[in-house]
Amino acid sequence: MDCGGGLLLLLMRSIGKIETGQVLLVHTEEPSVPPDLQDWARLAGHEIVDSTAEHPQGPWRVSVRRGEAPSAQAPSAGASDDVFTRGPATPVGDRLWLYSNFHCNLACSYCCAESSPQASPRLLPLDVALAAADEFCALGGRELLVTGGEPFLHPQIHVMMTELARRLPVTLLTNAMTFHSGPRRTALQAMPRERVTLQISLDSAGPELHDHNRGLRSHAKTLAGIADARDLGFTVRIAATLHDHEADTAANLNALLDTLDIEPANRLIRPVARQGFAEHGQPVSIDTLQPELTVTADGIWWHPVAVTDPAMRLADHPLPLAPALATIRDTVAVQDAAHREGRRHVFRCV
């Protein structure tokens, strides 16, 4: 590993487990790491106390004494004239994402989570979801978001959403294709309108692009789901995911949303991230993603688009949240010390 390939997060996780004044030993066969550690230690407020090579060509052993981390500075928002939704970064610790599950009725070509009908469900247990929400509230969190997979395939989605909404406002991300009837319809009807927002994925005004990326006849079913949700009194946000070469379709989509009375504030157009199933798209890393704490059944992650990327994994278990949040804040402080102008892309998922 090197500092651009996951080592930075591993360093932050590791040094966060020792006390100020104690020493972390880094053993590496990668020649770029020792000089990078010098910069990292300086920016993070630590001290290199020893650096030796077993042979001229390595491996190397570097001893780092933990100091006090510098304070984080908020990144600035960059202006953009393209179609993708921009905006200020969400402050670290304001937002918690919960992956309710990973199986889905669709297999979208660009799915960052590698969800599909064949995917392992990897259900987030109800008690874990609620414990995470309780800890997040205690840490000062302000917003919960539930995604998947398709969350309506979680057998306890009704109870999960009802209980989460008692704690904080919740946004539920869905393709709106599975709640037209039966128990899932009942689950939707039982959710509190004033505390739950439905974010529904719709990529294009007509069916061609949407169906190409998401599956045959999915466009028509999603439009029906949007109508159902609005008829039931839910606030509906529409999110489109587009490759760069598809960006010129956004105007027609916005025209459709005008006819559906979807307010501009409830529209999101985001680029494809080159993660999961996506072979093309915007490359992302911890240095280009403003972190948003993300919990799955398998651990805690830097950002919801990164749950298939081991380089952006913060913890191997979904609880507790506090150490992972501390790792994020320490890492952001180092990043901000390295580039004060805040050159961190804000990849908006909601």
Indicate the domain borders of the chain. 3-65, 95-338
Q: What confidence score (pLDDT) does residue 200 get?
A: 98
Say if residue 318 is preceded by a cis peptide, omega within 30 of 0.
no
* Lowest mean pLDDT, pick from 31-40, 179-188, 260-269, 295-304: 31-40
The CA distance from 187 to 19, in Å, is: 47
CA-nearest of 142, 62, 154 to 95 is 142
Q: What confidence score (pLDDT) does residue 80 get?
A: 36
CA-nearest of 311, 142, 171, 309 to 235 is 171
Give the percent of the chain with pLDDT over 70: 93
Strand pairing of 313-315 and 299-301? antiparallel
Q: Write out the two tokens for 191.
A: 């959710």
| pLDDT tens digit sequence for 75-115 | 444 333 478 988 788 999 999 999 999 999 999 999 999 99
Mean pLDDT of 258-263: 96
Q: What confidence score (pLDDT) does residue 69 get?
A: 62
Q: Treating both helix axes as pointing N-terminal to C-terminal, what angle do 33-44 and 8-15 enclose, rounded to 10 degrees? A: 50
Residue found by looking up tokens 């606030």 in the block: 235
Mean pLDDT of 56-60: 90
CATH class of the domain at 3-65: alpha beta
CATH of domain 95-338: 3.20.20.70
In the structure, what pLDDT confidence band is assigned to residue 240 with cuts at 50, 70 and 90? very high
Assign residue 24 a region: left if phi > 0, alpha if psi is -120 to 50, beta otherwise? beta
Q: What confidence score (pLDDT) does residue 346 get?
A: 52
Average pLDDT, the chain: 91
Q: What confidence score (pLDDT) does residue 21 get?
A: 93
Residue 345, pLDDT above cutoff 60? no
Q: What confidence score (pLDDT) does residue 81 get?
A: 45
Assign residue 96 a region: left if phi > 0, alpha if psi is -120 to 50, beta otherwise? beta
Assign residue 84 a region: left if phi > 0, alpha if psi is -120 to 50, beta otherwise? beta
| pLDDT tens digit sequence for 136-186 | 999 999 999 999 999 999 999 999 999 999 999 999 999 999 999 999 999
